[in-house]
Amino acid sequence: MSGVSFFDVFSGIGGFRLGLERLGWRCYGHCEIDGARREVYRRNFQTAVQEDNYDIAELDYLEGADVLVGGFPCQSFSMAGKRRGFSDARGQLFLHLPRLLSLCRPKAFLFENVKGLRMTPSAMVEVVSSLKRTGYAFDWAVLDSSMFGPPQKRERLYFVGFRDGIPKGFVFPKGERNGSAVIDVMEAQVEARYYAPAVIVRSTEFLLPPFWRQRARAIVSIGRHSPKEYGGWGLVLSPFGLSPTLVPGLDQRGQPLYLIEDGTTLRRLTPREWARLQAFPDSFRLPEDDARAYRYLGDSVTTTVIEAIGVEMEKWLA
């Protein structure tokens, strides 16, 4: 059993906690302002209501935890958004992280955000400058989830810092491709509501012949389906390739924007399949509302990436 403890901020539905508890790390507390996400977190981790922290602006303690962890809001830095950076109130929420580091002085931190943060120069400069002012030594790296088990192409930016200087031997994990594909996470039995109507299947324009569709090991668009009957143009992807990055953006029906070839027909991936693409266990209790489950999972972290970084950090947290 590890002796490392952590405090989970911007906790969402608990992706960081899932990854770190696999290592035996102990969660000393969590903070999430969205009530519906807190409820999902509470159901899965059996936390009491009185243990919840709602607003990070009011948080001024970490219960003596060794490590502060969290994925700070990404909408202000995402390539899919307006990239307003710190001119957006959501972007400014990051500033509570260096505040807590300066106030509580945990041994280390682990933060996550979208890769697009690096492409918003003024925001990246502010993030780096704010962290430097805390006195912590830190480094960052872009890691791809598909190198850590799940067949999802998901590049995210991770920051790791230590109060007493970065150990000379610390390195970010590299991971390795294991050859998994979307088909490996697909459920055997799926409710009819996830399948595309026959008119969509008939209207799909396939771009690759079956021979090539079955030999894909990347994100492979094999066609597109009609805009008129299904709320907008959407890609059709091979189940023998990787999933694109799961994002909270959905179509008019609150469903993912692409279809997967499933035998002779097409369908959406289910929320459970999305959870598997984020390396959430099948025992994890998802929201009953599909649209909510897709949003929460799209906002979350890939738990195996967090676990792998935790392995490297733990070597220096004795």
CATH number, residue 37: 3.40.50.150
- Cα separation, 282 vs 290, whole angstroms: 16
Query: By residue range, what is the domain housing residue 114?
Result: 5-178+294-314
Residue 287 in domain: no
Statement to judge: residues 15 and 133 lie in one domain: yes
The answer to whether position 85 is within a domain reads yes
pLDDT of 284 strictly over 60: yes
The answer as to whether 252 is a domain residue is: yes
What is the percent of the chain where pLDDT is above 90?
Answer: 62
Do 35 and 98 share a domain, yes or no?
A: yes
pLDDT score at 84: 59
Q: To 10 degrees, the CA torsion angle through 129, 130, 131, 132?
A: 50
Query: What integer is the mean pLDDT of 286-302?
Result: 95
Same domain assignment for residues 97 and 160: yes
Digit-coded pLDDT (tens) for 232-242: 456 788 898 89
Task: Tell me the two tokens of residue 38.
Answer: 């807190």
For residue 187 the two structure tokens come to 């459920």
pLDDT, greater one: 229 or 131: 131
| Residue 47 pLDDT level (bands cut at 50, 70, 90) | confident
Distance CA 76, CA 86 (A): 7
Q: Which of 14-28, 91-105, 172-186, 208-222 has the lowest mean pLDDT?
A: 208-222
pLDDT band at 247 (very low <50, low <70, confident <90, very high): confident
pLDDT surpasses 60 at 41: yes
Together in a domain, 194 and 97: no
Picking from 47, 49, 62, 55, the residue whose alpha carbon sits closest to that of residue 101 is 62
Domain presence at residue 183: no
Q: Residue 313: is its pLDDT beyond 90?
A: yes
Higher pLDDT, 219 or 310: 310
Q: Would you say residue 65 lies in a domain?
A: yes
Q: Are residues 40 and 122 in the same domain?
A: yes
Mean pLDDT, to the nearest integer, of 292-313? 97
pLDDT of residue 238: 85
- pLDDT, average across residues 263-271: 90
Distance between CA atoms of 67 and 7, rounded to whole angstroms? Answer: 6
> Both 170 and 306 in a single domain?
yes
Residue 24 pLDDT level (bands cut at 50, 70, 90): very high
Task: Say if pTM beats, i.e. exceeds, 0.75.
Answer: yes
Of 27, 31, 74, 104, the catalytic one is: 74
Same domain, 260 and 306: no
* DSSP three-state, residue 260: strand
- Whether 60 is covered by a domain: the verdict is yes
Are residues 141 and 118 both part of a single domain? yes
Q: Quick one: 132 and 251 in the same domain? A: no
My answer on whether 197 and 220 are in the same domain is yes
Looking at the domain assignment, is residue 28 inside a domain?
A: yes
32-48 b/e with 16+ CB inside 10 Å = b?
bebeebbebbbebbebe
Which positions ≥6 away from 148 have C-beta within 8 Å? 173, 175, 279, 302, 304, 305, 308
Question: Rounded to an integer, what distance in angstroms lies between the CA atom of residue 300 and that of residue 293?
Answer: 11
pLDDT band at 140 (very low <50, low <70, confident <90, very high): very high
- Residue 74 designated active-site: yes
Q: What percent of the chain has pLDDT over 70?
A: 81
| pLDDT at 163 exceeding the cut of 90 | yes
Mean pLDDT over all residues of the chain? 86
Asked whether residue 275 is assigned to any structural domain, the reply reads no
The closest of 23, 22, 18, 28 to 66, measured between CA atoms, is 28
Residues 171 and 203 in one domain: no
Provide the pLDDT for residue 263.
85
pLDDT at 76 exceeding the cut of 90? no
Axis crossing angle, helix 121-132 with helix 96-104, rounded to the nearest 10: 10
State the total domains in the chain: 2
Q: Do residues 107 and 18 share a domain?
A: yes
**Residue 91: what pLDDT?**
65
